Structure 1
């Protein structure tokens, strides 16, 4: 397992950043009527995922890290719902890469949360990042 020096080394954060970039690209073509509606909601949800991973890690507390990972997972579920709605209403083209990123990030966050829940409370999060491939 690679050494985790900061939040940028976390696989969950890296995948979250990739997801956020994909959402920004995919939402570019949404109708102008959605500029301050579903488009901005999707982008905010997407940015929330890696942001909460970074914030939780940066607090250097297992309980804060876990709480922020759960918030990130909630934002991910929110984004998946918004993406599905936008695709169903033909506001956005379905993107297989984006669909895959949503599923991968959910799996990574779920595994990371489970791993941290099993770890003794005094453990620092650096030792608990896992690679889910």
Structure 2
């Protein structure tokens, strides 16, 4: 595979963009004052990129695969929370669509990486 650092993984790079976007979104308006919800959606965003990184550094393909499963689940949690953010009026339709598209892309990338790790037994 030729990847020696988690920072080289496209799934991690996109997850980083997603996490940063969640932080920017939650710093605005009423969202910034809903501390419980804001913290929860931020944790989900951070969890995606963190689990990709941590799993990669574990050194075994079995552990990497398990951390990718967790990262993908965190991405699903984040997507569910985006629906609520839209439903309660914290984000408008345009921002919802843009962020959901990014979250779905991250989920596909993490899922593809997970399948690849499982198939090939990739380790660092």
TM-score by length of structure 2 reads 0.89
Query: Higher helix fraction: Structure 1 or Structure 2?
Result: 2
Structure 1 portions without partners, runs of 5+: 127-133
The SS at the match of 1:125 is coil
1:46 correspondence with 2:48: no
The list of structure 1 runs, each at least 4 consecutive aligned residues, that deviate by more than 6 angstroms after superposition, is: none
1:43-66: CA deviation from partner (whole Å, max 9, x where unpaired):
000000000000000011101100
The SS at the match of 2:90 is coil
**What does 1:19-38 correspond to in 2, within 5 Å?**
19-31=18-30, 32-35=32-35, 37-38=36-37
The SS at the match of 1:48 is helix
Q: Is the 8 A contact 1:30 1:91 kept in 2?
A: yes
Report the RMSD for the aligned CA atoms in angstroms.
1.6
Deviation at 1:92, TM superposition (A): 2.4
The SS at the match of 2:89 is coil
Q: For the residues of structure 2 that align with 1:30 and 1:87, how far apart are their CA atoms? A: 13
- Alignment match, 1:124: 122
Q: Is the 8 A contact 2:44 2:78 kept in 1?
A: yes
The number of residue pairs the alignment matches comes to: 121
